[in-house]
Amino acid sequence: MESNLRFNWHRYPTLAEYEKHFSQLEHTTSSKLDWLTELRTKDMNFTRVELDVLYGSIVTWQNPDDKSDRRSICYYVSPTELITIGLSDHTVSLVKPYQATTPFEAFYSILALQMNTYFNGIDAFETELFLRQDELRGSIDENSLDSIFGLRDTIENWSDLIVPFRELVLAGPEAFIRHTTYSDAFAFRLAEKRVERLLMLIEHYQKDIEVLLDLSTTVSNFRGNEIMKALTIFTAVATPMMALGAIWGMNFKNMPELDWKYGYASSLFLIFLTTGGIFYWMKRRGWLGALVRMPNKKSSVKK
């Protein structure tokens, strides 16, 4: 498919269509041959930079649950020619208002347009993150870690999408270093600003998720320690009862306590006395404080 712009823009809906066209060419360049070879073997992001040539493939969408399910755009950019594979006609129509005069400008217009669609997804993630923060604040339970890991997987998926765009923003001036005016093009500067803003948001939300993960881990460890503390205290307090009960539960014939008139009352008194004594001693030493008590409401700050 040919474009009516001021430069050659060849668009192909699929790799098979481009391969068919490529097989009919009498002359081609080594970079185009290398590009096609890599497209046949790689279903992922890759960027190759040569002098006055930039080519590769960039993933524009991937399923967070199955990262093999993805969509991508393949590109070949030179000072006189732009080749794209997998680009929709709708995106091409959106590029026209940018009035690109070079393949470089048209390509970075495509990148800027693609990145602009990501902000809605990032905003939706932000809303989900804030809701999750409100739910987790003061009510962290055994399902909290799964929820936080889900958020982390989502933001990592966004990071995987955006970082290749950042690489292309850096690779463009490298490939066309002899064309000093390219970096001043409106489309390039717009793509550069958008990728910086997206990466800033992703980095911020990654830090928020790490804070949630640290909080959840800390609370889980605290609860585990408190549970172990409760079991230890119960064992210590119940030790006299179990020890004395074990002694008087023996079946030896010569046990004078069994014939005592007040033996039963004395044994109960001894059990309660030793149990209460151990409990009092542990309380005096402050070992019973904050036993498995967690805040379940937001703490209010008094002004």
Q: 295 - beta bridge partners?
A: none
CB atoms under 10 Å from CB of 215, counted, come to: 16
Tell me how far apart the alpha carbons of residues 142 and 227 are, in angstroms, rounded to a whole number. 14
Q: Which two tokens stand for residue 289?
A: 């404080």
Tell me how far apart the alpha carbons of residues 95 and 108 are, in angstroms, rounded to a whole number. 10
DSSP 301: P
pLDDT at 191: 96
pTM: 0.72
Mean pLDDT, rounded, for 259-266: 77
43 — phi, psi (to 5°)?
A: -115, 65
Give the residue, 273 or 38, on which the prediction is more confident: 38
pLDDT at 142: 62
- Residues of the chain with pLDDT > 70: what percent? 89
Element (H, E) at 214: helix 186-248
Segment 134-184, tens digit of pLDDT = 777 656 666 677 778 888 889 999 999 999 999 999 999 999 999 989 999
How many helices (H) and strands (E) would you count in the chain?
A: 8, 5
Q: Is the pLDDT of residue 211 over 60?
A: yes
pLDDT at 61: 87
Mean pLDDT, rounded, for 259-268: 78
Tell me how far apart the alpha carbons of residues 125 and 132 are, in angstroms, rounded to a whole number. 10
What is the bridge-based pairing of β-strands 53-62 and 8-12? unpaired
Segment 274-283, tens digit of pLDDT = 888 877 777 7
Give the residue, 120 or 261, on which the prediction is more confident: 120
pLDDT at 300: 42
**249-270 burial, b for 16+ CB within 10 Å, e for fewer?**
eeeeeeeeeeeeeeeeeebeee
Average pLDDT, the chain: 83
Tell me how far apart the alpha carbons of residues 9 and 3 are, in angstroms, rounded to a whole number. 5
Give the residue, 214 or 87, on which the prediction is more confident: 87
Burial of 60 (0-12, 13-18, 19+ CB in 10 A): buried
Tell me how far apart the alpha carbons of residues 75 and 35 are, in angstroms, rounded to a whole number. 9
